[in-house]
A and B are shown apart, each in its own frame.
Chain A
Amino acid sequence: MIVKIEGNHLPKETWNRLDVNIAEIDCLPDFSGKDIDVLEIEGWTQGRFGSKYHEDLSPRDTDEIRALSKKGEIFSGVGPEVDKLIVANRIKSYRFQTATKNPKPLIINLEYLSGSADFTPVEIVVEDDAEAVVIEQITAKKVVHSMAGAQIKFKIGKNSKVTFVQVQDIDSNMIFINDVGAVQQEDSEFNVITAIISGGTTYYGCQSNLYGKRAKYNHDIGYMVKGDEKLDMNIVAEHIAKKTEASIHAEGVLRDNAYKVFRSTVDFNAGCTASVGEERENVLLMDDTVINKTVPLILCDEEDVEGAHGGTIGRLDDETLFYMMSRGMTKEEVYQKIANARLDAVVNKIPVPEVRDWWINRLHPEEEE
């Protein structure tokens, strides 16, 4: 039996005909909690807690979410329906906490097998004046009839810095909910690097509440959607305090019968004076059978801010194409190279060399030979 849940809510709706206001997710009714193999990691404490924590975050409309965000609640990008799923299935969450400047990177590996129906909720607390690198690696190969999800919520303390790397490479038969949320205190930084190499049907959401003054949120996303894959995204920067900054930058490639929705919102709440938010997406379309939907919102309830968005969708510009073909490449080779380069640019930002190199080799096995 399939249950429909609604996720990736567009913070301010548009015409229903465009079919971008929400994502209707065909969900399995029952999930199990997926265990994470986590060894003792220097600088981190860890624990588990019950699903009751998620009960307070039962589904609400977007106005209420915005109001609660202003009070410091964490909401994730896919939305409160994910919390409802966690509660309904009584899945225990992991908690990882650090208070140090340079703990070892926290690496969360989620590998899925056929027949999976797993969900992994994680809370990561980075206390004041701490720094942390968190890496989430999501893999699944040759799986059939699987659905899974992971939700990671960050509590980022004052003057602390978090670099969060997500790399996803899952089988085309899989459905995956990839959900992220954060609340940032004063002078904190949240740098997110997301590479979606392959994804079956993926619902990806990330929302950061810039709750403290001068908090910064920077999100680089690279994605490749091919075959019959579907990628549905919702990225939200909630500017709540003064002098907060957000930058959302996505580079993507669509080919074959790919279907992609990119919702990106910079939301300036009243009181967030002197804040700056910008969003940018560049999408390369490589086949006539793709469907690309882009909805970049700027919502503004405050005069003294700077908001901007921009983007391009479609084919390579003539100059770039001409230049590269004049170097001896065919048109197809040029497009392939540019497509690879977009993902490489994001993967190359992974700050942990071993992890970065592993993924580069996975993307380009022919070069290793």
Chain B
Amino acid sequence: MKEKTRVEDVDRSIYDIKNKDLDAYKFQSGLDQDVVLQLSYEKNDPKWMRSFRLRCLEMFNEMNMPQWGPAIDGLDMDNIVTYVRPKDNKMVADWDEVPDEIKSTFERLGIPQAEREALAGVGAQYDSELVYHNLKEEVKQQGVIYSDLESALHGEYADMIRDHFMKLVPPNDHKFAALHGAVWSGGSFVYVPPGVKVEIPLQSYFRLNAPGAGQFEHTLIIVDEGADLHFIEGCSAPKYNIANLHAGCVELFVGKNAKMRYSTIENWSKNMYNLNTKKARVEEGGSVEWISGSFGSHVSYLYPTSVLAGRGASSEFTGVTFSGGGQDLDTGCKAIHLAPDTTSFVNTRSISKDGGKNTFRSSIVVMPEAKNSKAAVSCESLMLDSISRSDTIPAMDIRTKDADIGHEAKIGKISDDAVFYLMSRGLSEEEAKALIVSGFADNVSKELPLEYAVEMNNLIRLEMIGSIG
């Protein structure tokens, strides 16, 4: 009997460890004006932020659920707790001061080790609050600011934050942007001064421990003219039998001739509704690279968007999505060309197995002013069995004749010819298929720092099953 390669499901054992819910403070579930006002009070919001939150709540209540993507019927906001503050909450800059249980969680996830070995700074969020935030001294001396967003709202960067907060992702963008605007909590603010190159990455890690809770962190990054930053985002949660919600927001402002690389390894548990919004605005000569590995969540809506606002701005999106049983992951990207000589490249891979559903969704818009723009979209999907599903829905809206746009996609199973070729080189059928599947996700892993590539490859472990007969 011919055997089939079995791609082992993403190994979640280290992510599934649950801490007891010894929260100091937890809102009641549901969402109404009282909840928003209470949150604003807890956060000591400036007046403008309080008003902003309330306006966002109104918008959320008025807007409809999206009808074009995976079903989110299982998400009932009345059952979601929008704010959970861990016990003994205090944001510190020393891991030894983090409460033991929380610290051990992050240690199991390898965060402190990664910080020691490979990062310029780390922000670690547990449920709704940051518990750790630190930036290496040498990076501080470059003038880099890396702080929690809430403190920054009251400090010397308050005006800068007000000028940028939810301007790129306005709350009327979609219903869950409005929700985010109403109940956001936690997250980071990064400012990189002109000409500064941050040699090693900064990282934020988001851990959602409480069952039935939502996490709504906001990441705001401003990379000023000629600066260069790599930011890595990681996330995970233990699996529960009730829904959790992640409706975070990432806003990246990439200045003239600046570079921003934003890498994400998303590994939420399979009860998570991941309705995240990420957007970058790139000025003249600037570039943004999105590196995205999506392995978790029950349902995902995730489409990092690049607005190419200045002449010569560019974006690159490299992604891999892995859907297993019980997952319906709708991922992709968007690029909006507003200026001449802009370029966007999209290279994605997806793997679906055990009944997983995968949708690649993209949008390339080239406006009349975007003369001499180029865009290329490439999507490959691998289906490993007949009970899974894979759809590609790329869309292009082009409004100038002076553009070069190309797109391509492929869907299928592992190529018999490729397997035959490798077998003729001495590999067994099992080894051949394992090699092909491993290489299939290489587009993302090779773009990550080694430690993260290793983590990603650990998430996709291949296992060959032999049978005789």
Shortest Cβ distance from A255 into B: residue: B401
Q: Identify the stretch in A163-171, A215-223, A280-288, A342-350 within 8 Å (CB) of chain B at 4 or more residues.
A: A280-288
Indicate whether A311 sits within 8 Å of B398 (C-beta atoms), given known contacts A18-B363, A270-B386, A297-B391: no
Please measure, in the bound complex, the distance between the C-alpha atom of A317 and the C-alpha atom of B398, giving whole angstroms: 17
A301 on interface, CB distance cutoff 8 Å: yes
Please tell me if the beta carbons of A313 and B396 are within 8 angstroms of each other in the complex.
Answer: yes
Q: On chain B, which size bracket covers the interface?
A: 35 or more
A12 on interface, CB distance cutoff 8 Å: yes
Please tell me if the beta carbons of B393 and A12 are within 8 angstroms of each other in the complex.
Answer: yes
When each residue 287-303 of chain A gets 1 if its CB lies under 8 Å from chain B and 0 otherwise, what string results? 11111111111111111
Contact of B363 among A15, A288, A292, A309 (CB under 8 A): A15
- Tell me which residues across on chain A come within 8 A of B412, comparing CB atoms: 305-307
Please tell me if the beta carbons of B390 and A294 are within 8 angstroms of each other in the complex.
Answer: no
Contact of B390 among A20, A289, A300, A315 (CB under 8 A): A300
Please measure, in the bound complex, the distance between the C-alpha atom of A175 and the C-alpha atom of B425, giving whole angstroms: 61
Shortest Cβ distance from A292 into B: residue: B398
Please measure, in the bound complex, the distance between the C-alpha atom of A306 and the C-alpha atom of B409, giving whole angstroms: 11
- Tell me which residues across on chain B come within 8 A of A288, comparing CB atoms: 368, 399-402
Indicate whether A298 sits within 8 Å of B409 (C-beta atoms), given known contacts A21-B68, A270-B386: yes
Shortest Cβ distance from B173 into A: residue: A17
Please tell me if the beta carbons of A313 and B384 are within 8 angstroms of each other in the complex.
Answer: no
Please tell me if the beta carbons of B403 and A315 are within 8 angstroms of each other in the complex.
Answer: yes
B203 on interface, CB distance cutoff 8 Å: no
Shortest Cβ distance from A261 into B: residue: B397
B175 on interface, CB distance cutoff 8 Å: no
Please tell me if the beta carbons of A290 and B399 are within 8 angstroms of each other in the complex.
Answer: yes
Query: In whole Å, how far is A256's beta carbon from the nearest beta carbon of chain B?
Result: 11
Interface of B, helix, strand, loop or mixed by DSSP? strand
Please tell me if the beta carbons of A292 and B404 are within 8 angstroms of each other in the complex.
Answer: no
Please measure, in the bound complex, the distance between the C-alpha atom of A306 and the C-alpha atom of B384, giving whole angstroms: 13
Please tell me if the beta carbons of A292 and B397 are within 8 angstroms of each other in the complex.
Answer: yes
Please tell me if the beta carbons of B361 and A14 are within 8 angstroms of each other in the complex.
Answer: yes
A29 on interface, CB distance cutoff 8 Å: no
When each residue 120-153 of chain A gets 1 if its CB lies under 8 Å from chain B and 0 otherwise, what string results? 0000000000000000000000000000000000
Query: In whole Å, how far is B367's beta carbon from the nearest beta carbon of chain A?
Result: 10
- Tell me which residues across on chain A come within 8 A of B381, comparing CB atoms: 300
A55 on interface, CB distance cutoff 8 Å: no
B407 on interface, CB distance cutoff 8 Å: yes
Contact of A300 among B368, B385, B391, B407 (CB under 8 A): B391
**Residue from the set A285, A287, A296, A314 with the largest chain B CB neighbour count within 10 Å:** A314
- Residues facing B in A192-236 (CB within 8 A) are none
- Residues facing A in B393-421 (CB within 8 A) are 393-413
Query: In whole Å, how far is A158's beta carbon from the nearest beta carbon of chain B?
Result: 26
B388 on interface, CB distance cutoff 8 Å: yes
Please tell me if the beta carbons of A309 and B409 are within 8 angstroms of each other in the complex.
Answer: yes
**Residue from the set B361, B363, B393, B403 with the largest chain A CB neighbour count within 10 Å:** B393
Query: In whole Å, how far is B289's beta carbon from the nearest beta carbon of chain A?
Result: 23
Please measure, in the bound complex, the distance between the C-alpha atom of A18 and the C-alpha atom of B68, giving whole angstroms: 12
Please tell me if the beta carbons of B401 and A298 are within 8 angstroms of each other in the complex.
Answer: no
B241 on interface, CB distance cutoff 8 Å: no
Contact of B405 among A15, A298, A307, A314 (CB under 8 A): A314
A16 on interface, CB distance cutoff 8 Å: yes
Please tell me if the beta carbons of B409 and A293 are within 8 angstroms of each other in the complex.
Answer: no
Please measure, in the bound complex, the distance between the C-alpha atom of A306 and the C-alpha atom of B381, giving whole angstroms: 10
Please tell me if the beta carbons of B68 and A298 are within 8 angstroms of each other in the complex.
Answer: no
Please measure, in the bound complex, the distance between the C-alpha atom of A304 and the C-alpha atom of B407, giving whole angstroms: 23
- Tell me which residues across on chain A come within 8 A of B391, comparing CB atoms: 12, 297-300
Please tell me if the beta carbons of B389 and A301 are within 8 angstroms of each other in the complex.
Answer: yes
Please measure, in the bound complex, the distance between the C-alpha atom of A302 and the C-alpha atom of B363, giving whole angstroms: 25
Please measure, in the bound complex, the distance between the C-alpha atom of A66 and the C-alpha atom of B389, giving whole angstroms: 15
Query: In whole Å, how far is A171's beta carbon from the nearest beta carbon of chain B?
Result: 25
Please measure, in the bound complex, the distance between the C-alpha atom of A317 and the C-alpha atom of B374, giving whole angstroms: 12
Query: In whole Å, how far is A242's beta carbon from the nearest beta carbon of chain B?
Result: 12
- Residues facing A in B362-386 (CB within 8 A) are 363, 368, 381, 383-386
Shortest Cβ distance from A297 into B: residue: B393
Please measure, in the bound complex, the distance between the C-alpha atom of A299 and the C-alpha atom of B358, giving whole angstroms: 10
Please tell me if the beta carbons of B405 and A312 are within 8 angstroms of each other in the complex.
Answer: yes
Please tell me if the beta carbons of A291 and B397 are within 8 angstroms of each other in the complex.
Answer: yes
Indicate whether A308 sits within 8 Å of B402 (C-beta atoms), given known contacts A18-B395, A21-B68: no
Query: In whole Å, how far is B121's beta carbon from the nearest beta carbon of chain A?
Result: 35
Query: In whole Å, how far is A310's beta carbon from the nearest beta carbon of chain B?
Result: 4
Contact of A285 among B68, B401, B413 (CB under 8 A): B401
Please measure, in the bound complex, the distance between the C-alpha atom of A305 and the C-alpha atom of B390, giving whole angstroms: 12
Indicate whether A290 sits within 8 Å of B68 (C-beta atoms), given known contacts A295-B393, A295-B395, A309-B407: no
Please tell me if the beta carbons of A313 and B403 are within 8 angstroms of each other in the complex.
Answer: yes
Contact of B409 among A296, A305, A317 (CB under 8 A): A296
When each residue 261-291 of chain A gets 1 if its CB lies under 8 Å from chain B and 0 otherwise, what string results? 0000000101001000000000001111111
B392 on interface, CB distance cutoff 8 Å: yes
Query: In whole Å, how far is A238's beta carbon from the nearest beta carbon of chain B?
Result: 14
B467 on interface, CB distance cutoff 8 Å: no
Indicate whether A303 sits within 8 Å of B393 (C-beta atoms), given known contacts A15-B363, A287-B401, A314-B402: no
Please tell me if the beta carbons of A293 and B396 are within 8 angstroms of each other in the complex.
Answer: yes
B141 on interface, CB distance cutoff 8 Å: no
When each residue 9-41 of chain A gets 1 if its CB lies under 8 Å from chain B and 0 otherwise, what string results? 000111110101100000000000000000000
- Tell me which residues across on chain B come within 8 A of A292, comparing CB atoms: 396-399
Please measure, in the bound complex, the distance between the C-alpha atom of A310 and the C-alpha atom of B396, giving whole angstroms: 12
Please tell me if the beta carbons of A285 and B400 are within 8 angstroms of each other in the complex.
Answer: yes
Please tell me if the beta carbons of B388 and A303 are within 8 angstroms of each other in the complex.
Answer: yes
- Tell me which residues across on chain B come within 8 A of A296, comparing CB atoms: 394, 407, 409
Query: In whole Å, how far is A22's beta carbon from the nearest beta carbon of chain B?
Result: 11
Shortest Cβ distance from B369 into A: residue: A288
Please tell me if the beta carbons of A14 and B393 are within 8 angstroms of each other in the complex.
Answer: yes
B13 on interface, CB distance cutoff 8 Å: no
Contact of A314 among B361, B383, B398 (CB under 8 A): B398
B contact residues vs A (CB 8 Å cutoff): 67-68, 359, 361, 363, 368, 381, 383-386, 388-413
A contact residues vs B (CB 8 Å cutoff): 12-16, 18, 20-21, 268, 270, 273, 285-315, 317
Which 5 residue pairs are nearest across A and B when measured between Cβ atoms? Answer: A13-B68, A285-B401, A307-B411, A313-B405, A310-B408
| CB<8 Å pairs between A and B, sample of 24 | A14-B363, A18-B395, A21-B68, A285-B401, A288-B399, A290-B399, A294-B396, A296-B394, A296-B407, A296-B409, A300-B381, A300-B389, A300-B391, A303-B385, A304-B413, A305-B413, A307-B409, A308-B408, A309-B392, A310-B409, A314-B401, A314-B405, A315-B403, A317-B404
A313-B403, A315-B404 known, 19 other contacts, Cβ within 8 Å: A15-B68, A287-B401, A288-B400, A292-B398, A294-B395, A294-B398, A295-B396, A298-B392, A300-B390, A302-B383, A303-B383, A305-B411, A307-B409, A308-B411, A313-B406, A314-B398, A314-B404, A315-B401, A315-B403
